[in-house]
Amino acid sequence: MTRFGWLVLGLILLFIAGIGAGWYLVSRYDAAEKPTPMATSTPGTDLSSSSIYTNGTYGFSIVYPAADQLTEMFTPWRSGAMASGTPLVAIADPEGMIRIGANADAKAIDACTKPGQAEKVQATMALGSTTFSTFTHDEVGTDNERRVTSYRAVHEKACVAIEIFQPITDGLPTPSTALMEIVNSFSFARL
């Protein structure tokens, strides 16, 4: 091959390499411009009819149906608790109630993840990035018989309790997917 042939061949290879490099840069630029989808804890959940309750003092949030009733006044702060604590929020849903309370007392913190009188220990449950001890007991002998499921954890030097109150009908608590969805939305803010 002559010098001119080698020159033409070199220019053709350089042209092909330039096209390849351009294609590579354009494809990387397009990929960088597209936002990466973020994972959510409740994929597919329609939040258009939901509200979010946040508590800055204890640093948590919880999503609940906008039609549910919210109150910050109830007693006691935790079912079966002897010590006084702080009731934070109660969410009344047609299927039951969820209450969240906290107590920073040393005795309450010590008893936080231990079963109380008549409580049955259940499997632990992760809510957000925190693992909660789970207990159940039934409140019977009244016109308003109900099962109480208590999720408790020590967070930021306080015992935090999330409790579900479900009516007992025909000797069994009414299972509630709606109440569990609310509880599953609970999370402490990341620092």
**DSSP result, 66-135:** TTSEEES--S-SSTT--S--EEEEEEEETTEEEEEEEE--HHHHHHTTS--TT-EEEEEEEETTEEEEEE
- pLDDT for 125: 93
pLDDT of residue 35: 43
Q: What is the pLDDT of residue 46?
A: 53
Which pTM was predicted? Answer: 0.72
Predicted pLDDT at 87: 94
Residues of the chain with pLDDT under 50: 31-45
Predicted pLDDT at 179: 92
Per-residue model confidence (pLDDT) at position 37: 41
Rg of the chain in Å (alpha carbons)? 28
Identify the residue whose tokens are 């973020």: 38
- Confirm if 152 and 112 have CB atoms less than 8 A apart: yes
Res 65: pLDDT: 95
Query: What element of type H or E holds 65?
Result: strand 60-65
Q: What is the pLDDT of residue 36?
A: 40
Q: What is the pLDDT of residue 107?
A: 92
